[in-house]
Amino acid sequence: MTMLPAREQQALREVGRTAISAPVSWTLVLLFLLTIASVGLLEPVVEDSHHGDAAEEPAGDQSPGLWREFAAGVSDSFRAIRSEGLITANHQLQLTMDEFEVRLEEESFLRRVILPPLQGFLSSYLGVGNEQAYLGRSDWLFYRPDVDYVTGRGFLEEDVQRARILQSDPWADPPRPDPIPALRQLEAELQARGVHLLLLPTPVKPVLEPSSFSRRFSPGSPPLQNPSYEEFCRRLGDNRIDFLDVAPDLWRMRQAGSERQYLRTDTHWAPEAVEQVALSLSRRLIDRGLTGKPVAGAYFRRQGEVENLGDIARMLTPTPAQTERWRQRVTSHRVVDASGHPWRSDPRAEVLLLGDSFSNIYSDPSLGWGIGAGLAEQLSFFLQRPVDKIALNAGGALAARRALRRHRLGSTGRLEGKRVVIYQFAVRELRQGDWRLLGVD
- Mean pLDDT over 100-107 rounds to 65
Instruction: Check whether 139 has a pLDDT greater than 60.
Output: yes
In tens, the pLDDT along 152-196 reads 999 999 999 999 998 887 767 888 999 999 999 999 999 999 999
pTM, 2 dp:
0.78
Do the beta carbons of residue 143 and residue 312 sit within 8 Å?
A: yes
Pairing of strands 242-243, 351-355: unpaired
**Higher pLDDT residue, 97 or 58?**
97
**N-term to C-term CA, the chain:** 76
In tens, the pLDDT along 125-138 reads 566 678 889 999 98
Neighbour-count burial for 31-62, b at 16+ CB within 10 Å, e otherwise = eeeeeeeeeeeebbebbeeebeeeeeeeeeee
Which pLDDT value is given to residue 191? 94
Which pLDDT value is given to residue 173? 80
H or E element at residue 350: none
**pLDDT-derived band at 84, boundaries 50, 70, 90:** confident
In tens, the pLDDT along 296-326 reads 899 999 999 999 999 999 988 888 888 999 9
In tens, the pLDDT along 362-395 reads 999 999 999 999 999 999 999 999 999 999 998 8
Do the beta carbons of residue 362 and residue 271 sit within 8 Å?
A: yes
